Structure 1
Amino acid sequence: MDLSEGFGERLLGQLLDRAHEMPAHLLAPLVAEECARIGGRDVSIYLHDYEQLMLAPLPGRGLVVGEVLPIDGSSAGEAFLSQRVVEERMADGVRMYLPLLDGSDEVGVMVLTLESVEDDDRRLLGRLAGLVADMLVTKGSYTDEFFKVRRLGKPLSVAAEIQWSLLPPLSMSTPQVSLAGVLEPAHEIAGDSLDYALNDNILHLAVIDAMGHELNAAVLATVAIGAYRHARRADIGLAALYAFMDRAVDAMFGPDQFVTAQMLRLDVETGQLQWVNAGHPAPLLIRGHRVIERLESPTTLPVGFGGAEPQVSATQLVKGDRVMFYTDGLTEERRIGGHQFGERRMVSVIERTGPLTEGVNQMARMLSRSLMAERGGFTSDDATLFLVEWHGGRADHLAIPDF
């Protein structure tokens, strides 16, 4: 077996070897130099904004800092939405747009130009883009620079600052399950929040809506999510999990404040879905782009009110099923004339949007935009939607080297 270092390993190895000590601001010049080694020029890195509308250029020595690009209608946006490489033929070469994926979380897009592109270039650049995405996420844990780029000069409220620091990545995809979500208004979100974890073959998920607005709602949501994570990591059942969250919120805030919530567990191998509902809108089951059922269940009082032990409900998903969770900000917005937007109108938008999209990432984003337009472009309350699509099967093959 030949273990000598080849060109591709050496190129990627430099990033890995230096990543441990390299400060965040040196990532840009190193990436630009790495791209130049394989003939790449005019290198840019774009990060998506909090609203998932625009791609903002990352400044840095060696990078071309271009204009802010719209996700809709641009080649970079196409790569971002499809999670596939886009190649654009030009008079002086090929412009390549490579999605930056940390696992399956979409970080942004890396762009560069080559004189010509062969399969070896595509393979090496794809791996380089994956490594760059991982480093952006890792280095982003101890610098503000990447966060400031994503804001596009728009300030976040203190409540939104708390919430975005609390949230997990808003997209994840494995061979067995995919999920994606959107929270609005992105720069002022306060009481809506969510959390998830894929532990072995069980997807754990909670969606909450804390009462009130601004900072108080954000603090209330923080306590609820913190209690959820603590209980989830103790491997207790769904009913006991509700009780733990309920006691934590009551101890901190007393009987006058509450959180509506849904907590669920999905076996990603079998498609068995279990959930409890604490005063939250029922999720919607989507099959073949049609909303076929509201997942109704006996509901207990919101978290913090000391409700009775909730009943655990269950259903069996079919491969390709999507379940949409949402907060009442989507349906209770009042349009001109005083009429609520309502669930029926929301279902109509879901069924129109589904056939036009690929995967839950695109659907969540387009659905959010469509619902916002239908509501007249206005959201007076937090509005959250979160989609889970079950694929089924096993993922063990990913742990087996294929050489």
Structure 2
Amino acid sequence: MANRAMSEDSVDRSEGFGERLLGLLLDRARLMPPQLIAPLIAEEVARIGGRDVSILLQDYAQELLVPLPGRQLHVSEPEPVDGSPAGRAFLRAQIVEVPQAHGVRMYLPLLDGSDQVGVMALTLDAVGDDDRRLLGRLAGLVADMLVTKNAYTDQFFLARRREPMSVSAEIQWSLLPPLTMSIPQVSVAGILEPAYRVAGDSLDYALNDNILHVAVIDAMGHGLDAAVMATVAIGAYRHARRVFVSLAEKYAFMDDAISRQFGPDHFVTAQLMHINIGTGELELVNAGHPAPLLIRDGRVVQQLESATTLPVGFGGEAPRIRQHMLQRGDRVVCYTDGIIEEHVDGGEPFGEERLIRCVNNLGEQPSEGTRADLRRLSHTLKRERGGRTSDDATLFMIEWHGSAADHLAVLD
């Protein structure tokens, strides 16, 4: 007992400078009104010699990083995601440092989990390893505060908007999970177009133990009717996911909800997946949706076909589940028909062959990560379609790494 007491007494519990700085933010976060986050962050940065603090949030189209207005924040013009230091920090989730005449401008990714919220920028006279460590942790706390406060203010929504948003898009964005997630075993990324007018497309996922649950849907029609149908479909999917286990039961529950609510003339196409992130085993149900693409070593090696089930809402029979086995580094890309049915010059649909060619061309370039690569693919496809997006067009990418995460639960 004496040795144990001595061991406990010898533990250093003193509060260092970094702990006091971060602890102040933690202590006040619970009661902090959203509009006071900016002044507190600016004050915290000033204590370590920083100045000209900016909080840059991604816009809904994932094209710009937009400065958050606020007292004591440095507000400048939006910065493009492509080709700017802030954009590099955002896409690569890495600190970027730019030497200037009177110091160093630092761009720190704001990561909530692994979802990139935006970037925090500030200037220091000089940067050392202690600065990088402390500011990296501060950026993580800032990201968590922004996400938490976002739930009960419109301030951050409004800062991210670059044009008016339709009511249907308002509904869809409120449904979505974070559009990126990355853990050692798997990463996902999604993008929806047109960002400010999307209606019937939606996606959802959840990681429960070792199973990644994924749904990508496309509700028939346009505008508010499609958004309402998508809302019911996603709500039914989430309810079934939290009650049932099998993909067949999820399909049946969604099918019943759509048919009861909207009648026999309405439907939703869907892809439902289970991916075991430990083994790479993938289970797929395709309910009238375009088949996902399997990408290996940067090239499409096959379309993940399965016995096509009737779309959700038509009262189809129990679906047959198709199994596939992923290899480490494999990517699966799901997409809605707005990608391939958009008419290009000459009046022909864009088509699957053009889509696959674009994927293969991008695969010849060095990867910058799941989110950056999917964003690049989306913008390439839009250019190839002449900049048009007359229907909802959704992409969702899953990359299976096959790594382990147990080491993260062990303190060094």
Alignment of 1:132-147 (within 5 A): 132-147=142-157
Alignment of 1:174-253 (within 5 A): 174-253=183-262
Range 371-380 or range 229-238, more displaced: 229-238
Displacement of 1:354 in angstroms is 2.5
**Which one of the candidate residues 314, 321, 326 is aligned to 1:305?**
314
The match for 1:131 is: 141
The match for 1:283 is: 292
Segments of structure 1 that go 5 or more residues without pairing to the other structure are: none
The match for 2:69 is: 59
**Which one of the candidate residues 171, 174, 181 is aligned to 1:172?**
181
CA distance in 2, matches of 1:355, 1:89: 32
- Where do 4+ consecutive residues of structure 1 move more than 4 Å? none
CA distance in 1, matches of 2:286, 2:358: 24
Write the deviation string for residues 353-379 of structure 1: whole angstroms up to 9, x where unpaired: 123332111111000000000000001
Segments of structure 2 that go 5 or more residues without pairing to the other structure are: 1-10
**What residue identity is the alignment partner of 1:270?**
T
The match for 2:384 is: 374
Q: How many residues align?
A: 401
Alignment of 1:16-165 (within 5 A): 16-152=26-162, 154-165=163-174
**What residue identity is the alignment partner of 1:226?**
G
8 Å contact 1:58–1:65 — kept in the other structure? yes
Displacement of 1:347 in angstroms is 0.5
**What residue identity is the alignment partner of 1:366?**
R
**What residue identity is the alignment partner of 1:200?**
D
Displacement of 1:299 in angstroms is 1.0
The match for 2:355 is: 346
Write the deviation string for residues 74-115 of structure 1: whole angstroms up to 9, x where unpaired: 111111111100000111111100010101001000000000
Secondary structure of 2:389 counterpart: coil
Displacement of 1:336 in angstroms is 2.1
TM-score between the two structures when normalised by the length of structure 2: 0.97
Displacement of 1:300 in angstroms is 1.0
CA distance in 2, matches of 1:58, 1:355: 36
8 Å contact 1:44–1:63 — kept in the other structure? yes
CA distance in 1, matches of 2:221, 2:63: 27
Secondary structure of 1:207 counterpart: strand
Secondary structure of 1:63 counterpart: coil
8 Å contact 1:321–1:390 — kept in the other structure? yes
Alignment of 1:2-21 (within 5 A): 2-21=12-31
1:330 and 2:374 matched: no
**What residue identity is the alignment partner of 2:375?**
R
8 Å contact 1:301–1:307 — kept in the other structure? yes
CA distance in 1, matches of 2:339, 2:394: 7
CA distance in 2, matches of 1:355, 1:180: 20
CA distance in 2, matches of 1:194, 1:58: 27
Secondary structure of 1:275 counterpart: strand
CA distance in 2, matches of 1:379, 1:42: 38
The match for 1:397 is: 407
Displacement of 1:120 in angstroms is 0.4
Displacement of 1:4 in angstroms is 1.1
**What residue identity is the alignment partner of 1:221?**
A
